[in-house]
Copies of this chain bind each other. A is one copy, B any other.
Amino acid sequence: MKQPTHTEHAMQACIEACSHCHQVCLQTAMNHCLKTGGKHVEAEHFRLIISCAEICQTSANFQLSSSQFSHQLCANCAEVCEACALSCKKIGGMDDCVEACEKCAKSCREMASTQHKA
C-alpha cells in the first residue's frame, strides 16, 4: 500500500473543508436564517448562502471524481465562500458559517494554485 502524496493529503483536506462548508451553509440557511427572518432572508444574503452550499458540494464532487477541472472549480468555490463569509459577518450571529467559509476559501485557494496532474 503506497503512502498518500502531499497533493493527495491536500486534496483530502480540501474535500473535507468543502463538505463541511456545504453542510454548515445549508443548515444555517434552512434553520437559523428561516427562523430568524429579517435580513437573514433578504434575497442577496439568502441566495449567496445557498449558492455557497451548492458550489462547495460541486467542488467536493469534482475532487472526489479526480476531475481535470477540479482546480477551476476550487477557484470558483473560493470566491463564493469569501463573499458568503462577508455577508454572514455583516448580518452577524452566524460565526460558525463565517469560520467554515473562510477555512474552505483558504483550502480551495491552495488547491486552485496547484498544477493539475492526472
- Point out residues on A near B: beta carbons under 8 Å: 15, 19, 23, 26-27, 30-31, 34-35, 37, 41-44, 46-48, 50-51, 54-55, 57-58, 60-62, 64-69, 72-73, 76, 79-80, 83, 118
Q: Is the CB of A72 within 8 A of B64?
A: no
Given contacts A15-B23, A58-B55, A118-B44, contact A50 B65 (CB under 8 A): yes
Contacts of A15 in B (CB 8 A): 23
In the assembled complex, the CB of A103 is this many whole angstroms from the nearest CB of chain B, namely 16
In the bound assembly, the distance between CA atoms of A48 and B43 in angstroms comes to: 18
Contacts of A48 in B (CB 8 A): 67-68
Q: Is the CB of B80 within 8 A of A76?
A: no
